[in-house]
Amino acid sequence: MQGQGLVARRALLLAQRAKRQLSRRPLLAKAMPCAFGFAFGDFLTQYVNRDRSAPYRQDFRKTAAMAAAGAALAAPVGLGLYRAMDAAWPSVAFAVAAGKFTLDQVVGCAIWQAAYCALPGNGWYRDMLSSAAAAAAGGVDARVRDAVAYAAAMTSMVLPAPSAC
C-alpha cells in the first residue's frame, strides 16, 4: 500500500511540473494536442477511405505532414484565437466557455480540411468538399450559395501543395 502512495505522489508531482512547464509555454501546450488531433484525423480518414480490395497500408508521410500542419499552423492560430476570445469575452461562465470551445473546433476543422486538401493525392477530397458545399448551398439565397462556393474553392488555396512550395 505504501508503494502505491509513493507512485501516486510521484505521478502528482510529475503532473504538477508538466502543468507548470506548459503554462510557461502555451504554444507547446497547444501544439501537442493539435499535432495529435491532426495526425489522428488523418489516420481515420485514410482508414475509412481505404481501398477495401487491397491490404491496408497507412501513408505515414501524410500522417506526419498533417501532424506538422497541426503543430505549426493550427496551434498558433488556435492560441491567437483563444487569446482574442479571452480578451473579448473574459467570462468563465459555462455558455461562454462552450462558445469559445465550439469556435476553436470550427476554426481547427477548417484548417484541418485545408491542410488535408493541400496534400498531394488528395484532390478527390477537395472535389468531395466542393461538391458537398455546392449541394448544401443548393436551396439557399444566391449570395450565400456564392459565398459557400467561394469558400470551397479557396480551401485548396489556403495551403499550397508541397510541389508548389
Model confidence at 68, pLDDT cuts 50, 70, 90, reads: very high
Residue listed under C-alpha cell 449541394: 135
pLDDT digits (tens, 9 = 90+) for 133-142: 777 766 555 6
pLDDT digits (tens, 9 = 90+) for 13-44: 888 887 787 788 888 888 998 999 999 999 98
Longest dimension (CA), the chain: 70
Neighbours of 80 (CB within 10 A): 13
User: Nearest 5 degrees, angle CA 98-CA 99-CA 103?
Assistant: 120
Phi-psi region of 48 (alpha: psi -120 to 50; beta: other; left: phi over 0): alpha
pLDDT digits (tens, 9 = 90+) for 96-107: 888 888 888 888
Highest mean pLDDT out of 129-133, 145-149, 159-163: 129-133
For residue 157, pLDDT over 50 is answered with no
For residue 150, pLDDT over 70 is answered with no
pTM for the model stands at 0.67
SS3 state of residue 122: coil
Domain boundaries, the chain: 26-119
